[in-house]
Structure 1
Amino acid sequence: MSEIQKALVVHAEEAERIDLPDGGGFRLLADARHTGGALGANRLSLAEGAAGARSHFHALSTELFHVLDGVMRFTLDGVTTTVAAGGLVSVPPGTPHSFGAAPGSAAELLVVLAPGVDRFGYFRSLGRIRHGLESFDDLLAEQGRYDVHSL
């Protein structure tokens, strides 16, 4: 018999903040360990026209993006599209994708990865990389651990 998972409640003030130098940042909401592996979730704020992630894929998980505010640009398996507030993008495992705020727009996203992978460490590293405290090459060695495979 499997362990019964308890409901998770994260209040805004409890979410760990990873600030980015351009004014954007991550709000870490749930890691896989918090949800019995069901999902991971974060809120991402991107400054006007800011890059979110270079081209990558997830081997194990589907990544869902709900655009809360602004306009996003997604490149999904080589096809670029824009998605405005209220829109949703679901990226299945193995699909190359990249994303960022559209030119002239800042954006807010809810990002969910299912099944979950403990990725809070990944987001902390990204914050240090964006502040020039770490090299992106250091993070490449952790691709399997975080199920983020750069292209």
Structure 2
Amino acid sequence: MPTTPDAVLTVVAPGEGDVVPIPGFGAILKLTSMTTGGLVSIVEHPFPVGAITAAHRHTREDEHSYVLTGEIGFRSDDDEVVLGPGGVITKPRGQLHAMWNAGREPGRILEVITPGNGFENYFRELGELLTSGVSGSRPGGPLHESAEFAELAAKYGLTYATPDWLDDVVRRYGLSPATH
């Protein structure tokens, strides 16, 4: 099996990882691009009841989500599904997507990002931006209109949008939009 010269043996025990505080969301970095030679990043995301990510599009990487606990809803372009523990979905680059807690208990997913490209650093920088005093904390609100947020999104090849389907998803599941 081929390996990359930059990959190193990495062990992350249960409950370990680099915790990145993101208000209303969160990220636990399990594997980084640095430790995998750029092949993959693995990030765990807790989903509090009522949480939904902002609708966004990646231009450089694909996301593969594995549901660990709870019921998590996914919308990628015109496709929508709710998955329970063990469910997996791939959200290809270029598709506008969002994820939400579709149940009545906290949920968690493991996000496998390919290629790694250092994308896990987006979560670090987003957490710093949100705790730095930049105003706004909801999609379409002042944060998404700020120059700092636009610069961060562009740096990581992300675009954000408010698709026609977002209000319907928020209403059907009684959600509170987040900032991711």
TM-score by length of 2: 0.71
| Cross-structure match for 1:69 | 69
| Cross-structure match for 1:127 | 127
Q: How does 1:43-58 map to 2 (within 5 A)?
A: 43-51=44-52, 53-58=53-58
What RMSD over aligned residues (CA atoms) do the two structures have, in Å?
2.3
For residue 94 of structure 2, give the secondary structure of its aligned residue in structure 1.
Answer: coil
Is contact 2:58-2:94 (8 Å) kept?
Answer: yes
TM-score by length of 1: 0.82
Q: CA deviation at 1:130?
A: 5.2
Q: How does 1:1-151 map to 2 (within 5 A)?
A: 3=5, 5-12=7-14, 14-22=16-24, 25-51=26-52, 53-128=53-128, 133-134=133-134, 135-136=143-144, 137=146, 138-151=148-161
Give the structure with higher Rg (CA): 2
Q: State how far apart, in whole Å, the 2-side matches of 1:5 and 1:131 are.
A: 32
For residue 11 of structure 1, give the secondary structure of its aligned residue in structure 2.
Answer: coil
Q: State how far apart, in whole Å, the 1-side matches of 2:152 and 2:71 are.
A: 30
Q: State how far apart, in whole Å, the 1-side matches of 2:23 and 2:5 are.
A: 41
Q: Relative to total residues, which structure has the larger strand share, 1 or 2?
A: 1
Q: CA deviation at 1:14?
A: 4.7
**Structure 1: stretches of 5+ with no match in the other structure:** none
Amino acid across the alignment from 1:37: G
Q: State how far apart, in whole Å, the 2-side matches of 1:103 and 1:131 are.
A: 28
For residue 123 of structure 1, give the secondary structure of its aligned residue in structure 2.
Answer: helix
Q: State how far apart, in whole Å, the 1-side matches of 2:89 and 2:15 are.
A: 27
Q: How many residues align?
A: 148
How has the CA–CA distance of structure 1 residues 99 and 130 changed in structure 2, closer, same or farther, with 3 Å as cutoff? farther
